[in-house]
């Protein structure tokens, strides 16, 4: 039988894309995720970052102390007052890949945009893109549509100050339906101000400026939590600041040439090691790293001439050759700071001693918990495990999932219809403990929570998490929502990195089933239910699912298979987590009741 023509692999199947076509076809390579604007890392904010980065590079090189950013609806305008793009190269600098001055150390010594891609990607991914450069009383302007040049003009700029203006609108063909959220924009701009003390950013008329750099960042992020005023060090190549809080985690902000490296890298690991060495040298003791760093909130920023990042999105630094030098510099700087601030040093060491003492007590509790669990069973009795597991230590991911559900009925439905290769089920017995205001030892004293930690393998560290997705599968009633909140509270209070890294989810299951003799529709809201009733006719049967156990295994299989609906639990502002948990899950019952009464909205039903 002759081979079909569609399967023939010859010269005609080889394609060569232009730079513009490649950026639009493989958007993720250049800006990461696209998204709708709901999350901080969504692509529309990366587009803003790429343009503002160029203005920041000018400031770093000593040109222009003001950047104006205006956003109205979906249109973004950025005006800097640096040197301006050389007038004869305006079009090439925003449209031709690997063209720019970022390769020239005489012009830009500490630039983020070393790959010559950023503004070109913004141009290619915008419906409309305008660039105007002002230099010495003259200007050149170019207008593009989806990366294609449509017109160009030049002339006298009069008294207009030197600099560059860029205006663009992200393309809905790439980003779909999107909207800018001001909180994400302001957070990014505040980071720029912390990293560039003295720079004035003007966002829609509002001034954003920092005089103390990373010290302001740590002060703002820790607010009422900090145990002592942040220790702060800054020179031309390195800046760092840190304090301690009563959090159970260690949290850091790391930057390279102004780029927020969300996944850290060499500079962050060197900072952590340098602080440990400094504390041990100053105290003349040998504290464990976990004791020194628990509750630490720190920030480190470095400048490099040739940073090596993992990708164009620059989330992680890979320059290993700088590690030893950076460790020594951090150690020396922190030792000096501790000597210069004796009261702060005393409070820091008190915190470490308290942590060390509590950790030793916790080890005793852990030992008792392990011995107790061995008497019950070698395996966790509430866990129906799967065959595949996540291997974070080797950066090897799987699609493994664990459903945390309430009651035997729901667990039975889940277990009978799950995929045993990748889906595990953990059954909660009754309502979990509210750990909002309890210490870590409560986790080990409570059999229910300890068995869950054993199942997830997070007794010692979240780095050993066994599943890619931890899914809360509770009933859609008051009790189910309360259990969900109790579990989210536990993860946020004691295992916040697990949530921050996107592992915690909520399973969305249908609230209603609407069916007639020919068709069945599952609805996730009352609005969907009403639409289904209108479509299928008034005589259709409507079932309200109050609990997961009411859904038959044959039906449940569709809801946890390829079409599974998950809502990721995300953290918008990490510094506000303790305050939010304390208000909603703490012992302030009267305050909460009063808040509900003051904000209660009663709708009058039609007579």
Contact indicator for 414, 405 with CB cutoff of 8 Å: yes
More reliable by pLDDT, 138 or 475: 138
Query: What value does the mean pLDDT of the chain take?
Result: 86
- The answer, yes or no, to whether residue 150 has pLDDT greater than 90, is yes
Q: Which pLDDT belongs to residue 344?
A: 97
Does pLDDT of 272 surpass 80?
yes
Provide mean pLDDT across the span 309-329.
84
d(CA 438, CA 188): 34
Instruction: Kindly tell me if the per-residue pLDDT of 339 is higher than 90.
Output: yes
Helix (H) / strand (E) element for 148: namely strand 148-156
Q: Where in the chain is the domain with CATH 3.40.50.670?
A: 377-509+563-597
Unique residue bearing structure tokens 């035997």: 408
CATH architecture of 20-208: 2-Layer Sandwich (3.30)
Give 599 or 534, the one with higher predicted confidence.
534
pLDDT band, residue 374 (cuts 50/70/90): low
Annotation: CATH topology of 377-509+563-597: Rossmann fold (3.40.50)
* Inter-residue contact 33 to 43 (CB < 8 Å): yes
Sign of CA dihedral 378, 383, 388, 394: negative
- What integer pLDDT is reported at residue 377 of this predicted model? 52
pLDDT confidence bin for 311, thresholds 50/70/90: low
Q: Which CATH code for domain 214-356?
A: 3.30.230.10
Domain with CATH 3.30.565.10 in the chain: 20-208
pLDDT per residue as tens digits for the range 11-61:
776 666 677 778 888 888 888 788 888 888 889 999 999 999 899 888 888
Quick one: three-class SS letters along 415-461?
Answer: HHHCCCCCEEEEEECCCCCCCCCCCCHHHHHCHHHHHHHHHHCCCCC
222-267: pLDDT as tens digits = 887 899 999 999 998 999 999 999 888 888 999 998 888 888 999 9
User: 56 near 199, Cβ under 8 Å?
Assistant: yes
Q: What is the dihedral of CA 262, 265, 271, 274, to 10 degrees?
A: 160
Instruction: With a cut of 80, say whether residue 602 has pLDDT above it.
Output: no
State how far the Cα of 574 lies from the Cα of 577, in Å rounded to an integer: 5
Q: How confident is the model at residue 114 (pLDDT cuts 50, 70, 90)?
A: very low
541 pairs with which residues across the strands? 515
Model pLDDT, residue 1: 45
Give the Cβ contact number of residue 411 at 10 Å.
22
Across 156-160, 305-309, 401-405, 436-440, which has the greatest mean pLDDT? 401-405
């Amino acid at each position: 039988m002759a081979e079909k023509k569609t399967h023939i692999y010859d010269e005609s199947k080889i394609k060569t894309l232009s730079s513009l076509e490649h950026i639009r076809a493989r958007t993720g390579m250049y800006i990461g995720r696209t998204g709708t604007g709901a999350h901080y890392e969504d692509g529309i904010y990366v587009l803003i970052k790429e343009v503002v980065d160029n203005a920041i590079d000018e400031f770093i090189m000593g040109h222009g102390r003001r950047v104006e950013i205006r956003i109205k609806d979906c249109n973004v305008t950025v005006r800097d007052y640096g040197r301006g793009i050389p007038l004869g190269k305006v079009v090439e600098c925003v449209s031709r890949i690997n063209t720019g001055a970022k390769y020239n150390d005489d012009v830009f010594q500490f630039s983020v945009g070393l790959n010559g891609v950023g503004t070109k990607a913004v141009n290619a991914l915008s419906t409309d893109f305008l660039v105007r450069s002002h230099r010495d009383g003259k200007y050149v302007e170019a207008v593009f549509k989806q990366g294609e040049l449509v017109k160009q003009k030049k002339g006298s700029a009069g008294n207009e100050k030197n600099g560059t203006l860029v205006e663009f609108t992200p393309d809905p063909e790439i980003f779909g339906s999107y909207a800018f959220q001001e909180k994400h924009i302001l957070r990014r701009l505040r980071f720029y101000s912390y990293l560039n003390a003295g720079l004035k950013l003007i966002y829609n008329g509002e001034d954003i400026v920092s005089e103390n750099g990373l010290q302001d960042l740590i002060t703002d992020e820790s607010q009422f939590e900090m145990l002592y005023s942040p220790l702060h060090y800054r020179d031309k190549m390195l800046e760092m600041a840190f304090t301690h809080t009563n959090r159970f985690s260690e949290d850091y902000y790391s930057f390279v040439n102004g780029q927020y490296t969300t996944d850290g890298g060499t500079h962050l690991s060197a900072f952590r090691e340098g602080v440990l060495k400094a504390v041990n040298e100053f105290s003349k003791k040998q504290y464990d790293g976990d004791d020194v760093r628990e509750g630490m909130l720190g920030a480190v920023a470095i400048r490099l001439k040739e940073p090596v990042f993992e990708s164009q999105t620059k989330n992680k630094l890979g320059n290993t050759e700088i590690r030893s030098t950076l460790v020594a510099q951090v150690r020396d700087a922190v030792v000096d700071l501790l000597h210069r601030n004796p009261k702060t040093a005393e409070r820091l060491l008190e915190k470490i001693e308290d942590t060390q003492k509590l950790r030793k007590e916790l080890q005793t509790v852990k030992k008792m918990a392990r011995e107790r669990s061995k008497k019950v069973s070698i395996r966790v009795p509430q866990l129906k495990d799967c065959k595949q597991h996540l291997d974070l230590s080797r950066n090897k991911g799987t699609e493994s999932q664990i459903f945390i559900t309430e009651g035997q009925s729901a667990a039975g439905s889940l277990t009978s219809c799950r995929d045993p290769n990748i889906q595990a089920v953990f059954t909660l017995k009754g309502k979990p403990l509210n750990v909002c205001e309890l210490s870590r030892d409560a986790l080990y004293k409570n059999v229910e929570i300890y068995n869950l930690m054993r199942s997830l393998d997070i007794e010692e560290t979240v780095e050993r998490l066994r599943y890619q997705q931890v899914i809360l599968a509770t009933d859609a009633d008051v009790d189910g929502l309360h259990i969900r909140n109790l579990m989210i509270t536990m993860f946020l209070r004691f295992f916040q990195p697990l949530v921050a890294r996107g592992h915690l989810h909520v399973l969305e299951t249908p609230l209603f089933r609407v069916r007639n003799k020919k068709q069945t529709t599952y609805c996730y809201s009352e609005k969907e239910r009403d639409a289904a009733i209108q479509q299928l006719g008034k005589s259709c049967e409507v079932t309200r699912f109050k609990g997961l156990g009411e859904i038959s295994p044959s039906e449940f299989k569709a809801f946890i298979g390829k079409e599974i609906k998950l809502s990721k639990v995300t953290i918008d502002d990490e510094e506000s987590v303790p305050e939010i948990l304390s208000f909603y899950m703490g012992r302030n019952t009267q305050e909460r009741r009063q808040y509900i009464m003051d904000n209660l909205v009663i709708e009058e039903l039609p007579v």
